[in-house]
Amino acid sequence: MQRSHFILTDSGGIQEEAPALGKPILLMRQATERAEAIDSGNVILTGTDPGKIINAAHDLLHNQALFRSMSQQRFPFGDGTASQRIVEITKSVERGA
């Protein structure tokens, strides 16, 4: 994923991972349960119509402003430090016990 220009997928997991890499995603689904990905600006929901998918890919390849806006590294599902925060909370609870 890191070496891709943008990503075409219908995968739920990839739409969660790619924004952290700053990769634009064309999501080939009719709907997504991960609205945060679309709200982040990294994901366009194209649906499954081949024409719409091709048009969206063309836009990403030829519209540099769109590509730059979608290529920002974002963390719509958290910052990746939850486990460290859990460790710190657990330590503070143990010290207080």
User: Is 2 inside a domain boundary?
Assistant: no
CA 53-56-59 angle, to 5 degrees, is 150
Q: 68 is in which domain, residue-wise?
A: 7-96
Element (H, E) at 9: strand 7-9
Total domains, the chain: 1
Q: Per-residue pLDDT tens for 11-41? A: 988 988 899 899 999 999 999 998 888 999 9
At residue 81, does pLDDT exceed 90?
no
On the question of pLDDT at 75 being above 90, the answer is no
Indicate whether 69 pLDDT > 90: yes
Whether 20 is in a domain gets the answer yes
- The rounded Cα 71 to chain-centroid distance in angstroms is 10
Tokens linked to 1: 């994923």
Q: Give the CATH number of the domain where residue 47 resides.
A: 3.40.50.2000
SS3 content of the chain, % helix, strand, coil (to 5): 55, 10, 40
